[in-house]
Each structure stands twice: as C-alpha cells, then as structure tokens.
Amino acid sequence: MSLRNISLGLVIGLTVCSLANAQFNAASDSASKTSGGFVQDVRSHPREPSRDNAFSMTINTYGIAATLQTLASQVGASILAKGGNAVDAAIASNAAVGVIEPMMNGIGGDLFAIVWEPKAKKFYALNASGWSPQAETIEAMKAKGVTKMSARSIYSVTVPGAVAGWEALHKRFGKLPLSVDLAPAIALAREGFPVTETDSANWKQYGLPYKDRADFASVFLPNGSYPAVGQIFKNPDIANSLHLIGEKGADALYRGPIADAIVKVSDENNGFMTKADLADYKPEWVEPVSTTYHGWRVYETPPNTQGIAALSMLNVMELYPLREWGHDSARTLHIELEAKALAYSDMLHYVGDPRVEDIPTKKLISKELAKQRAQGITDKANCNVLPSDRKEQLDKLQTDTTYLATVDRDGMVVSLIQSNAGNFGSGLVPEHAGFVLQNRGSGFYMQPGQPNSLAGHKRPLHTIIPAMMQKDGKTIAFGIMSGFNQAQAHAQFVANVVDFDMNIQAAMDAARFNKGNSGCGVNIEDGYPKEVFEQLAAQGHQIDVVPRYSQVMGRGNATMHDDALGVNFGASDPRADGQAVPELPPY
C-alpha cells in the first residue's frame, strides 16, 4: 500500500537523523584519529541504560500538586503547606489555572472530579456539568430561525458548573476556608503574571478571532493584541469575581451580581438563560464506573461523560498480549486503534444525560460486550465501525480543557478536570466578571430522538473526564485533556503503566496517538520506529505523523500515593508548561 498518507514530517525527520548520524560518525572518526583511539575505548564500555521519561518524577513524603502551569502547581503546593488537604489544593490550583489559562478553563465552565478518601477507603465522583436553559429546546430554536448550533453563539452557553463544583467539594472535604483556597489566584489576577510559551501561542491562535468583540477584547486582548511570551497579564475583573465567591460561596455566581451579568449577556444576544436556570442548578455526587485491567481497577466518571469509552477500550485491549508485543509495536498500536474505534462508536451513539435518557452503561463497559466486539477485529483497519446494535455513526467534537491532580501527606488523592469546552468558550464575557462563558451546549444534536439531542435543563455529552486507577495500595490520579482525545489517551496511559511497566512520568511522556471519531485517519507522534508507520499504513490506517510532544495529543498530569512506602509521586506532561510541585515540610 502507498505511504502517501504518512506525513512529510516523517521523511524530513528521517533525513535529518541520517545527516546527524553522518556528522556524528565523521566527528567520531576525526576524534579517534586525534585521540589515539580514545573514542573507541569509551565505546567499548557498557553504556548506562537510558530512561523512557523526559525528566524525573516528583517524589515527596508530603503533598504534590501537578497542573499544566507551574505557577498553578506552586499555588497547590502552598495551600498544602498551609494545612490544606488535596481537595483544597485542587480548588486552589484550578482557580489559578483559570486565571493563567483563560482560553482553556475558568469559572464560566464545567468541572468533574474523583476523590480517593483514604480513611473511608472510598472513591467519590462529582459531576458539576451545567444544563441548558429550561426554555432552550429544538422547537424554540427553530422558532428563532436557528437550525444549527453555533459554537460562538449564546445558544451554545450552558450553566457554568465549576463554582458549584468547588463548593460541593469544599463542603464535603475541604479543611481551609474557601477564601483562603482562592486567595493565590486572586493575587495572580490582581498583580499579574508573565504569560508562558504555550499560552501565548494559544492566546494568539484562539483569542485574536474575538478581537472585534469589545467585551472580550477589553479583558483578554490588552492593547488590542494577545500577550507575548513573558508579558505581564492582569485581570482585575476575575480577581473581583473570585473574591466574591470566596466570601459568599457559589451564591455569588448563581444568585448574586455575577448571575445578573450572565443573564444580561444572554438577554443582549436574544438567548434563553434566566436567573432561575442559574439559581436552580446543583452539581451531583455520582458513583464512578470502573473495570479491571490485568489486576488494576480503573475508574472513570459515568455518563454524561465519555469515560465509559476508556473502560470499553481497555476491556478489548486486555484480550491481547500487549505486554509481549511491546509499546513500540505495530501490533499493539493496531489493536489499540481498533479498540478505540469500537468503544467510541458505542459511546457517541448512546451517551447523553442519564437524568433524561436511559443509557446502558453496565452493558457498554462489560467484558462480555468487549469479547463480542473484538471478534470483528482483523489485521486490517476498520474505517466504518458502527455501534454494537445500531446503524448510524455520530461524530461531534469539542476541545480545550485543563486537567490537574493533587495528593496530600495523608494519602487523599484528587483527579480534577475543568473546561470552557472550546478555546475561550463562546467568547462571551459577562460585564465586569473577567471570564468567558463556556460553549459546551454546541455539542448537543439539533435532531430529536438522540440521547444527546437538545432539550431544556439537559446536560450535553461531555468530553472531559478525570480518572483514577488502583492496585495493592497504589492509587494513581491521571488525566489527559483535549476533546475526544481523552478516553483514548487514558487507555494508552493505563497500558503504559500496566503492560509496559512505565512509571507515571514515563507513561505521560510516551509517544501516543489521537484517532478521529470516524474513518481510518489517525495522528501519531514521531516517537515510533519507521517500520511501525509502514506496517500500520499497509493495514489501512491513514497516518499523519505529528511532531514529538505535540499538543494534538493533549496535555496531562498524574499523582500517585503508595501506601506501603508512605510516599507520593507526581508527573506532568512535557507537552505543556506545567510541573508536579512538591509541598515543602515545615521549617
């Protein structure tokens, strides 16, 4: 089969490597001639084995906060040092990342979390995803002449769930006052912070399209443009909003002046949002869903999220000897890609809001269904996978997010994810509030009769998912963001830890793929042998080789507590600007 679909980047990369090897060999020969054979002598000695991770895990007997921004990780570590627990650190870090990366997340978006409480030895899952306005239905939209959901319109705006999520987490588990948890983020917003490399690029790409919106530009485009790398960015409006939330709790957003500003934006844009839509909203404590994978138990949040797709993937992958084949194997990647296609076809068809729709979650994550589905896997790529008992294939996409993980000295572990949906969400900014409203409602289907069809006070299918895995006293919180990349990235992370014996940093660093929701197209990082790409192409996979550590693969973090050692571990994705920062002991 032709390799036309393999990116030119692969060819260029191989050429550069060849030139580099030639230059290295020439230099070595020259050195040998001038050093009496010293280079040859050095080469004759065994080399130290190389490691798989870009840098070391963070290891600490006290707590660790791992986020996509080092400043935000430092915020979490400082809250731990003040006597806060992993939940306090997660709230504080999330608030800080919302200030630092406003294109990805903030108090205008939604939140999901899983908490491991070591004293109760129990997992708790929180669904803090918001619903659509009560009056926003397919029929009401058609009456306004709207038949297609625009990601930039007021109709894509659902009630923000993040702040209600903070309050629910804090009331159940928090140790410090909420105002203390939010104080570092407030300081960063008021005093300003230097913009990092990744964020400056994202600001340019995703912020400039909103430059003609005065409400957006006045907050997020200082002097009419995006902040350059190292430029100090301040947001006094978000500082004021966070201060109100710290003093008054969630009521400040759902019933107070921030709620008034949200409704005003809706009214000005002919939307449906009312004060009652905001005031009536409550997050929901739910049971996490799980499956086993070679002795580990892996936990995800249930529908309305895509978490079941990660579990379904793992159930299929478990049927094959991936450990024997290895990470850098075309056979391993082929099975993972086919498992992804099978799992996503069911998830995209069935998942909606379980308060409104009957979703066969137990069946979809069953080992029995995985065995049935795996029977259809051959040595060729299946480019048109259908749901397990339906005829249609659905394909929708939403994108950007932040994921963070925390662990404290007592072994409490938090996996938290929070998002605006798309970059800078809807682009709509409530007056003097300092944040964008999410556009998560753009994921609704405008055709009736589907689990994810638009209806009043309904939560859409959510891409954002936190995860955990546990075995023999080791509890790992992990997550990797970027739309529908997440479930497939979770399954790859689990396989890296379980099948390929990687530590959590190596598992986060390892080259991975991001396959679309239909067809045979797949992005694969340039971190596999050339022969792997050739074999996959021969099997029918349409490969686009992307640069190593590409943001196309999403960005993640992980923390782990080991009961036997009494030690915590942290990892942060080299594809981002973050770090796993340890809490310092008292001194």
pLDDT digit string (tens) for 78-119?
Answer: 999 999 999 999 999 999 999 999 999 999 999 999 999 999
Find the helix or strand (DSSP H, E) in which 123 lies: strand 122-128
Return the pLDDT at 340: 96
Phi and psi based region of residue 445 (left: phi greater than 0; alpha: psi -120 to 50; beta: remaining): beta
Residue type at position 286: V
465, pLDDT greater than 80: yes
Return the pLDDT at 32: 35
Cα(63)–Cα(416) distance, integer angstroms: 16
Return the pLDDT at 248: 96
391, pLDDT greater than 60: no
| Structure token pair of residue 290 | 């799980």
437, pLDDT greater than 80: yes
pLDDT digit string (tens) for 553-582?
Answer: 999 999 999 999 999 999 999 999 999 999
38, pLDDT greater than 70: no
| Structure token pair of residue 499 | 């099948």
Average pLDDT over residues 425-453: 93
Return the pLDDT at 279: 97
Q: Tell me the helix, strand and coil percentages in the chain, rounded to 5.
A: 40, 15, 40
Q: What is the mean pLDDT of the chain?
A: 89
Place of tokens 């570092």: 184
Q: What angle do CA 319, 572, 302 make, to 5 degrees?
A: 50
Return the pLDDT at 383: 87
Which active-site residues does the annotation give?
401
Under the banding of pLDDT at 50, 70 and 90, the label for residue 54 is confident
| Structure token pair of residue 162 | 């993040």
pLDDT digit string (tens) for 170-221?
Answer: 999 999 999 999 999 999 999 999 999 999 999 999 999 999 999 999 999 9
CB of 236 closer than 8 Å to CB of 190: yes
Under the banding of pLDDT at 50, 70 and 90, the label for residue 35 is very low
Average pLDDT over residues 382-393: 61
Round to the nearest angstrom and report the end-to-end CA distance of the chain: 64
Cα(253)–Cα(244) distance, integer angstroms: 8
Cα(385)–Cα(351) distance, integer angstroms: 17
| Structure token pair of residue 103 | 């294109």
CB of 428 closer than 8 Å to CB of 219: no
Return the pLDDT at 139: 95
Average pLDDT over residues 139-144: 94
Burial (0-12, 13-18, 19+ Cβ within 10 Å), 382: middle
9, pLDDT greater than 70: no
Sign of the CA dihedral 20, 26, 27, 32?
Answer: positive
| Structure token pair of residue 504 | 């959590």
Cα(477)–Cα(147) distance, integer angstroms: 41
Cα(484)–Cα(394) distance, integer angstroms: 13
Under the banding of pLDDT at 50, 70 and 90, the label for residue 388 is low
Cα(316)–Cα(189) distance, integer angstroms: 46
Residue type at position 230: G
Place of tokens 């090897």: 21
- Residues near 45 by Cβ (< 8 Å), separated by ≥ 6? none
Domains of the chain: 72-108+128-285+423-443 (no CATH), 286-397+465-581 (3.60.20.40)
pLDDT digit string (tens) for 247-274?
Answer: 999 999 999 999 999 999 999 999 999 9
Under the banding of pLDDT at 50, 70 and 90, the label for residue 26 is very low
Average pLDDT over residues 55-68: 96
46, pLDDT greater than 90: no
Q: How many residues does the chain have?
A: 587
22, pLDDT greater than 50: no
Under the banding of pLDDT at 50, 70 and 90, the label for residue 398 is very low
